[in-house]
Amino acid sequence: MTYAVIDLGGNQIIIEPGKFYDINYISAAPGDVIKFNRVLFLNKGNNDYDLGSPCLHNVSVKATILKHLTDDKIAVFKVKPKKNNRVRRGHRQKLTRVFIEDILA
């Protein structure tokens, strides 16, 4: 089983070829092919792996943008005691669904 760990927007994501993942919003059109170059770890299977310090410079990940979507709403409710002050706010994170095509080593 081949998998890799990539650094994407300050988050480390474990990815496998042939699967799709929801990541933070990327400003590109659906159908575009993108490459992720910040690969931190690559497991080739059979106890054969490469570890970067911090990144592997000869490895990249090829992905296709499937669609843009929004995450579930997060409700923030603030109450100040004895002041009759209540504030309800919400937030919906914009996400991009990408399909991992291949890990290019």
Looking at residue 16, its amino acid is: E
Match 């092919």 to its residue by tokens: 33
Q: For the residues 10-22, what does the mean pLDDT come to? A: 94
pLDDT of residue 51: 87
Distance between CA atoms of 76 and 5, rounded to whole angstroms? Answer: 32
* DSSP summary character for residue 70: E
Q: What is the pLDDT of residues 45-54, one digit of tens each?
A: 888 888 888 8
Q: What is the pLDDT of residues 18-74, one digit of tens each?
A: 999 999 999 999 999 999 999 999 998 888 888 888 899 899 999 999 999 999 999
Q: How far is Cα of residue 80 from the mean position of the Cα atoms in its chain? A: 36
